[in-house]
Copies of this chain bind each other. A is one copy, B any other.
Amino acid sequence: MNLIIDGGTILTMDKKGMIKDGAVVIEASDIVDIGKSNKIRHKYHGYEKLNAKGKIVIPGLINTHQHAAMSLLRGYADDFPLNVWLEKKIWPLERYMSGHDIFVGALLTAVESIMGGTTTINSMYHFMEEYNEAQAFQKIGIRAAVGHVCFSWRKKEDKNALHALVKNWHGNSKGLIRATVDPHAPYTVDPKYMKELREITNELNDKYASPRSPIIWHTHVAETEDEPEKIQQAFKMKVKNGVFDYLDSLGVLDKNTIAAHCVALTERDVQILKERKIKTSHNPISNLKLASGICPVPKLLKNKIIVSLGTDSPCSNNSADMFEVMKTTALLHKGVNKNPMLLPAEQILKMATLDGAKALSWEKEIGSIEIGKKADIVVVDFKKPHLTPLYYEPSHLVYSAKAADVETVIVNGKIIMENRELTTVNVEQVMQTAEKTKEKLLNKLG
């Protein structure tokens, strides 16, 4: 399909900056032209037209840390201490989740994500060949990095799952899906297995991927302060200078690694993040809700480390709402650092778009509205009382806009949502299936 998004204010997130009365031209999956509407629109005849007058056009938001299937557990166990939450509530229920349940949960999260302007999800969960998150994302038409989470206690299953995931899905769904290798965390993956996963990843990259679209690592690191102790207890390893220092000593870190949370960092850890060009995913809502700590985002940015944004799972958030994450990020670091100039709106938008793409090593294709990139584009309706009056679009996007203001969503050149109606799936049905699946899960728990 050829499409022209015409008349809106375009936030390109590249050097073109903001274009008022602009137009974006899409041919098939690609952005082929951008500029002032009156300069370029006459060049494209017979293109479908999406009237964006009075609206804001932004690159799709990129959620760099999710466990999409867990939407099925949203609101099941809030306000508990972390260990009770995980060990007594979440894990016992999760144990009953079938492949089909995972598919259903991922479908629900993908719907919620699209409806809130997220066009790319980086999701870590259990991969099964028959039913999995990738199928759900493909069905919705959302872009996703799909991982299989690896633990020491199931090495063999992990290896089979990783091979199946990469073979079947890396580059699949018209390039919308990429596979990732997801060591769960440094305290659940022993050092030997961690190195083995690095080797497996290298092999998989050689066999199935190109440098332009690598199979990356997606892992939790330094989510809580006691992580060094947990590693020491689990594997009798000394962790003296921080968790990244420990991982680096194993030789497993490279630039195609995204580390979620990074709450408890040593100076040495920050140094390693910088030297190894590790990418980070900041998940402020989850970190606050679980009382894990606060990632030193200003320090990371000062060190030119990529900080992208994530919601984390819908049961530690409890939304897949990147607008909420943007505002919370902007507020939190100002507040705790007592500096209202930190993380201004433009910076936050960059974290949620271009830096999200970089964090997934996907910046050649997504993260900005640029000629040659894939058309992952979100149209936000600004004709709302809470977005009135309008002084400066980036401020409104970060501090006032809501997920529900997203009107139309395009992924890979295809309209996935138009005027808040999804084009690829029956939302009512997705909700009904999710509710039924939850009931069945609770019944299994007894």
Contact = CB atoms under 8 A, between A and B. Distances in A.
A385 B341 contact: no
A318 interface: yes
Contact of A400 (B319, B341, B437): B319
A131 to B, nearest CB: 18
A434 B389 contact: yes
Nearest to A338: B291
A277 interface: no
A23 to B, nearest CB: 23
Give this chain's copy count: 2
Contact of A291 (B79, B340, B384, B391): B340
A279 interface: no
A222 B108 CA distance: 44
A75 B427 contact: no
Contact of A331 (B288, B400, B431): B288
A300 interface: no
A430 B439 CA distance: 45
A349 to B, nearest CB: 12
Nearest to A288: B335
Interface in A68-83: 71-72, 74-76, 78-82
Interface in A303-333: 317-321, 324, 327-328, 330-332
B340 A79 contact: yes
A78 to B, nearest CB: 5
A256 interface: no
A interface SS class: helix
A182 to B, nearest CB: 24
B385 A111 contact: yes
Contacts of A427: 385
Contacts of A78: 344-345, 392, 395, 399
A289 interface: yes
A116 B384 CA distance: 12
A32 interface: no
A285 B340 CA distance: 12
A209 interface: no
A293 B335 CA distance: 6
Contacts of A384: 431
A386 interface: yes
Interface in A343-364: 343-345
A343 B78 CA distance: 11
Contacts of A289: 330-331, 334-335, 340, 399
Contacts of A250: none
Contacts of A439: 389
Interface string A400-421: 1011100000000000000000
A268 to B, nearest CB: 23
Contacts of A330: 289
A339 B291 contact: yes
A1 interface: no
Contact of A79 (B112, B345, B383): B345
Given A340-B85, A344-B79, A345-B79, A438 B318 contact: no
Most buried by B among A82, A291, A386, A437: A386
Most buried by B among A318, A404, A434: A318
B331 A399 contact: no
A132 interface: no
A294 interface: yes
A396 B335 contact: no
Interface of A: 71-72, 74-76, 78-82, 85, 108, 111-112, 115-116, 285, 287-291, 293-294, 317-321, 324, 327-328, 330-332, 334-345, 383-386, 388-392, 395-396, 399-400, 402-404, 427, 430-431, 434-435, 437-439
11 contacts: A75-B396, A75-B400, A78-B345, A79-B345, A116-B386, A288-B332, A290-B334, A328-B328, A388-B435, A391-B438, A402-B403
